[in-house]
Structure formats: structure tokens, C-alpha cells
Structure 1
Amino acid sequence: MFSGPGTEPGSTPDAAAAPRRPALSPSRAGDFKQCPLLYRFRAVDRLPETPTKAQVRGTVVHAVLEQLYALPADERQPDRAHAMIAPTWERLSAEEPGLTAIFDGESVEEQLAAWLESAGGLVDGYFELEDPRRLQPEACELLVETELDSGVLLRGYIDRLDVAPTGEIRVVDYKTGVAPREIGEAKALFQMKFYALALWRLRGVVPRQLRLMYLADRQSLAYTPDEAELSRFERTLDAIWTAILRAAPTGDFRPNKTKLCDWCSHQAICPAFGGTPPAYPGWPEPDSGDETILERAD
């Protein structure tokens, strides 16, 4: 069984409070890989994007599961998790008032009730996949940050880190959508390899397992990386960062038109769709690598 004390190596209050230079997160690396202009819009211009009900619901469910593991093991019951859903939504919407924009028009109370019930369904999906009473994670929502030999600074948040008494590491990521097809699965594994590489560089141990838990359809996917694979992935991240820095002085982040454009919030200002981007504001300081709470729940 994976278990361990509630410490968080790799993340200290002093480190978190220190000034931070531009970093690469799984979301931003994935953005650039998908479309350099999307990276610019999100990391440099910081253009607002209207969240979807599914994104915000995922954020709420992630927060509930984090709180669940703060309870004593024998109290991690479905009814306790369900009781956390509405208060968690109230807290998050108070901290980020823009989240309430997901409900509009008439019957807002009915919309909210149905939406909270759907969040409860995802929580039920989690309990079908594993029994949290049998687990003692080392950390939940763990900030990991490490610098590669090339100078690339990696930064990201891991949903859950399990460490076995034998020292084996398991990285767990909750997905609140259904298990993806080929493109979605590749994106999810990219994110998990990012975390595996960061942990390998921080601790000198390759995670034994990367586990993706798809709560909507009650499926769990496990993947075992190795050193050779993570070394190749490190070179991929080096190449992505080199390309970002090459475009950074002039803002030459070009669009890459694919089927994924159908889900982009920025088509109106994208040259690939006849739009005009805003004037380039220059390379951001001190940090372009942060993930939002919505992205962490992706």
C-alpha cells in the first residue's frame, strides 16, 4: 500500500514566497506544443477566458478530494465528501466571483442544484475507484519546482503524491471528464510525464506509477515511466523552452490551426481565422509559468 507522513518535500513556505522567474508548467508547455499563439495569449497577454461549468465543477471536486484527505482516515466517507461540495463551491466563488458567470438566465437556483448534484456524481465515481481510508498520501496539491541542467525551470501542482514504505512513488491525477480518446490521452500523459520528470530531478527516484483517475466513467489508467523515456521527455521540454525564448523578444508566436481550434476562446483575434492579436506587451516578468486553479483541475 502507498502511505507515508504528511510532509511535502520540494515545496517549502520560504521557497513559495521567494521571487520567481519565468517557468514552464504542464499547461503552458502543452499550450505551446499545441499552438504557440495560444501560449502567448495565455502566458504573456494573460487574456481572460470564460470558464465552463465542467471546468469549475472539476475545480470544486479537486478541492473536495484535497479536503477529504485532510480528515482522519476513518472519516473519509462518501457522506462527508458530499457534505463538502456546497461549502467548497461557496468558498471558491467568494474567492473568485467570476466563477458565478457559469450560471446565467433564469432558474439559476435550479441550475446550481443540478450542477452540484453532478459534482456529487463525480465524487461517487472517485469512491468507486478506490477507498481513501486505506491511503495516507504524502501530499495533496503539491507544488513541485525544479531546474533542469539546461536551465529550464519546471513548476507544477500534483493532485496527489503517494509514497510506499519501500520508497516507491505514485503520482495520482484526478480527471473529471470521461476517459479520452487518443489526442486527450496523449495530452494527459504529457502532463504526467512532466510531473514524473520533476520528481525524478528533485528526489532522484523515477515514479513507479503514474495513475490517471477518470471519475466520470469510473476508469483508471496506469502508466510506468522509465529513465530513458523521461530523459527523452526532458529534451522535449528543453526544445519547447528554447523555442519560447526564441519568440519572446519579438512576440513571434505563430498560430497552429488544428481541430483543437474549435474549443479555443480566442478565434476572434487569431490570424488563422482572420483576426488581429493585441499589440505584443513584451516578455512577462517575473513569472509566466503559473497554472490557475481551473488548470490544475484539468
Structure 2
Amino acid sequence: MSEHVVRRPALSPSRASDFKQCPLLYRFRAVDRLPEKPTRAQVRGTVVHSVLEQLFALPADQRVPSTAQDLLHPSWSRLLAERAELAELFSGEQDPEFGRWLEDAQKMLTGYFGLEDPRRLEPEACELLVEAELPSGVLLRGYIDRLDVAPTGEIRVVDYKTGAAPREIGEAKAMFQMKFYALVLWRLRGVVPRQLRLMYLADRQNLAYAPDEAELRRFERTLEAIWAAILRAGRTGDFRPNPSRLCDWCDHKALCPEFGGTPPPYPGWPEPDPGVETALDRSD
């Protein structure tokens, strides 16, 4: 009989961001594991990410716009085969909404080629799982869209965003995610990434940022404080709601006490592993 392997609980950028936004949202997602219905925008982002990952697996001279467009529909078909429930997003491929959705994805790929020429790049890795333990014992885990390493050893972290260029909240959330990756890489390799680059494909905009070691040390303390607060809430089940304008987009609003709802009975802590992060989490 094979032993059941329990992954040690870890902190991912998505779940850390959830707790910062609303501790109750963190509980619903990481502890209760309540289902959420994927949106068309999330799924589109997942498909576009998949296309770009496949593109960089090809020889450099094949990384051209027509190849990316050719990969789009097969990537959707594979995702649909893996997650049959996504078929509910459209009434079928003849649905005009599906046609518009596919066209938007095509425009994002076109937007990508407006930002850089992938034939001139040789990333070290795409969709890279990284994991590092901080000196305090906090375990960090996440996926990086793309890691570029120069011959001189300088590191660039690249993240594709398939939403519109960020406003105040979106930009802060995106930069939190990128600093998370920078910290993990620094702890793993002893090198502070030279650049954190967000590529907003819909708007053909880049947002680049250069962190420094002092900033990453401060960010490390922030993550340690978040994890300590999560563990305190986990022991008692006291994950409090934090209402904001983001509540209108929450799948669990009907269960929130702030809106007259009642959360399900607390299942206890720890497990399930709150470090799990899906492709849909990273597709915004």
C-alpha cells in the first residue's frame, strides 16, 4: 500500500494576497476549498499563458506570430479535455461569444509580439515552480511565468498579464506577486533579480521594476507577519471578513457575514495545504 504524502503547508503569492485582501476569503479558498466558477477572462488568460509556454519550447526561428495563433485553438481544446466543466462557459464553438473570446485571445498574442521578439530570447525556464524556506521557517512556493538569465548571471522575472493595464489595486497586487518571486529567487540563488517585468498584453504595456536587497528583506518580514497571522487565525478559526469594493467580484459573497451570510462550519487547521496555486490563480 502506497503512503499518502502530505505536502507541508506553504505560502503562495495568490494565497498571501488573499489573506491581505480578506482573511475570510483566504479561509474559503485555502481551508474550506470552496469551488469557484472560472470566468471567461481567467480561462482566456490560462490559454494565452499556455501558448506562450509552448512557443518558447520551439526553436527560435519558429517563434513567430502565425505559430502562436496556430497554437491557440489546440491549447483551448486540451484545457477543455482536462476540465470538461469549462464547456459551460459557452453554448458551443458556434456561440458568437466564443468567437469574440477567441478573437480577444488572438489580439493578446498579437499584443505580445508588439512588446518583444521571442526569437531573440532564450529563457532559462517557463512555468517554473520555485520553493524556498525563509530563515524563520516560513515555506514559500509559487510558479514563475518566465525566468530570463543573462550570460553575466543577471536575472529577469517576467509575468504575463492578460487583463487591462492596472489601476491602483491591480498594480499593487501584481507587484506584491513579483516581489514574492524575487524574494524566493534571492533565497534560492543568492542573487537579487535585476528586473521584475510585467507585460500587459491587452494594452501592449510593460511595467518594469528593479528591487534591491533591503527591500526584499523588508518584504520577507511582511510575509512572515502574514504567515504568523494565518496560523493564529487557523488555530481559532477566526478568519474575519474585510469588506472592500472587491467584494462585488467575490464568489463567496452569499456566505459572508458582512452581507448576511453564514460561513460553513470551520473544518479545522491545518490541511488542506494552503500553498496550492492553480493556473487560473495566475491568469489575471
TM range (shorter): over 0.9
Does 2:216 match 1:216? Answer: no
SS in 2 for 1:249: helix
Counting only pairs closer than 5 Å after superposition, residues 33-182 of structure 1 correspond to structure 2 as: 33-104=20-91, 108-182=94-168
Partner of 1:10: none
SS in 2 for 1:161: strand
Structure 2 Cα separation of the partners of residues 183 and 297 of structure 1: 16
Structure 1 Cα separation of the partners of residues 258 and 94 of structure 2: 37
2:129–2:143 CA contact under 8 A, matched in 1? yes
Kindly, what percent of the aligned residue pairs are identical? 75
Shift of 1:108: 4.9
Shift of 1:101: 2.1
SS in 1 for 2:43: helix
Shift of 1:199: 0.2
Q: Which residue type is aligned with residue 137 of structure 2?
A: G
Does 2:260 match 1:257? Answer: no
Shift of 1:102: 1.6
Structure 1 Cα separation of the partners of residues 240 and 6 of structure 2: 30
1:20–1:286 CA contact under 8 A, matched in 2? no
SS in 1 for 2:49: helix
Structure 2 Cα separation of the partners of residues 31 and 126 of structure 1: 28
Shift of 1:292: 1.0
Structure 1 moving runs of 4+ over 4 Å: none
2:16–2:223 CA contact under 8 A, matched in 1? yes
Root-mean-square deviation (CA), in Å? Answer: 1.4
Structure 2 Cα separation of the partners of residues 198 and 107 of structure 1: 41
- Please give the per-residue CA displacement for 1:183-219, whole angstroms capped at 9, x wherever unaligned: 1111100000000000000000000000000000100
Aligned residue pairs total 281
2:253–2:261 CA contact under 8 A, matched in 1? yes
Structure 1 Cα separation of the partners of residues 93 and 136 of structure 2: 54
Shift of 1:88: 0.3
Does 2:223 match 1:237? Answer: yes
Partner of 1:268: 254
SS in 2 for 1:66: helix
Does 2:261 match 1:296? Answer: no
Structure 2 Cα separation of the partners of residues 282 and 101 of structure 1: 33
Does 2:187 match 1:197? Answer: no
Structure 2 Cα separation of the partners of residues 200 and 277 of structure 1: 39
2:195–2:211 CA contact under 8 A, matched in 1? yes
TM-score (norm 2): 0.96
Partner of 1:183: 169
1:249–1:283 CA contact under 8 A, matched in 2? yes
TM-score (norm 1): 0.92
- Please give the per-residue CA displacement for 1:76-128, whole angstroms capped at 9, x wherever unaligned: 01000000000000000110112222224x88532222211111000000000
Q: Which residue type is aligned with residue 133 of structure 1?
A: R
Deviates more, 1:180-189 or 1:199-208: 180-189
Q: Which residue type is aligned with residue 69 of structure 1?
A: F
Q: Which residue type is aligned with residue 159 of structure 2?
A: D
Q: Which residue type is aligned with residue 133 of structure 2?
A: E
2:185–2:192 CA contact under 8 A, matched in 1? yes
Counting only pairs closer than 5 Å after superposition, residues 14-25 of structure 1 correspond to structure 2 as: 19-25=6-12
SS in 2 for 1:248: helix
